[in-house]
Amino acid sequence: AEPADIVAFVEDLLSEKKKSLRGKRLIVTAGATIEAIDPVRFISNHSTGKMGYAIAEALARRGAEVVLISGRTSLPTPTGVRRIDVLSAQEMYEASVREFATAVMCAAVADYTPEEVAPTKLKKGDGELTIRLKRTHDIAAELGAHKAGRILVGFALETDHEEANAEGKLQRKNFDFIVLNSLRDAGAGFGVDTNKVTLIDRAGREELPLLSKAETAEKIADKIESILK
């Protein structure tokens, strides 16, 4: 076994936490999607997947069966997690519908994708180039419309009107709660190991302090667990 797996196993044996999510199946979407323009270029975003991977790990450590539907990242698969690699928003949508269960929608999904993917490398011309984009599936909203007793947790990364935007998404996508990140907070955002989030549900909001992404993941897992009970 790899050293990291041995460490995870021993930590697990020593941990005080019971297997409080044993018998529960959850999906976590994480990372950035990649929308091909041609065989060489793509449209994507800065998500590294760290937050989603930390959540998958926290849930698995509590005994849940976790399916991690992952866009492009360079992170190792957390111990005990089943990982499905996808590239585009369409592939992430199909995997999410197929695996649909209580879900944490952490991925940074492209909202638009090129209308056509060029089969061969686009060559430059003298003038400007326009690429027409079409909408992708809003995976969270579509799962939210068919959730029937499943719990759905969303994320919102905002740069302005943070709380109003997050509350709008909570309602529109039928989330049980939403995790708001503001890019204005130091220590929150892409690639860093810390996060500062506010958990918002229909009853109110809970502002968490600056924590590591692993600690933030534990808080999110605590809240999921309390709803599942």
Binding stretches for ligand CTP (CB under 6 A): 29, 89, 105, 107, 109, 111, 136, 138-140, 154-157, 169, 173
CB of 138 to ligand CTP, least distance (A): 4
Q: How crowded is the C-beta side of 210, counted as CA atoms within 13 Å? A: 9
CB of 28 to ligand CTP, least distance (A): 10
CB of 80 to ligand CTP, least distance (A): 23
CB within 8 A of 153, min separation 6: which ones? Answer: 103, 104, 105, 175, 176, 177, 178, 179, 220, 224
Q: Which residue lies nearer to ligand CTP by CB, 12 or 75?
A: 75
Structure token digits, residue 13? 């044996």
Q: Which residue lies nearer to ligand CTP by CB, 79 or 136?
A: 136
Q: Which residue lies nearer to ligand CTP by CB, 21 or 55?
A: 55
Tell the residue number behind the tokens 């302005």, with chain if given.
160
Q: Which residue lies nearer to ligand CTP by CB, 79 or 223?
A: 223
Q: Report CA torsion sign: 206, 213, 190, 86.
A: negative
* 181 catalytic per annotation: no
Q: Report CA torsion sign: 27, 30, 35, 39.
A: negative
**Given the residues 45, 174, 181, 195, the one annotated as active site:** 45
Q: Position 173: which residue type?
A: K
217 neighbors 195 (Cβ within 8 angstroms) = no
CB of 12 to ligand CTP, least distance (A): 28
Task: List active site positions.
Answer: 45
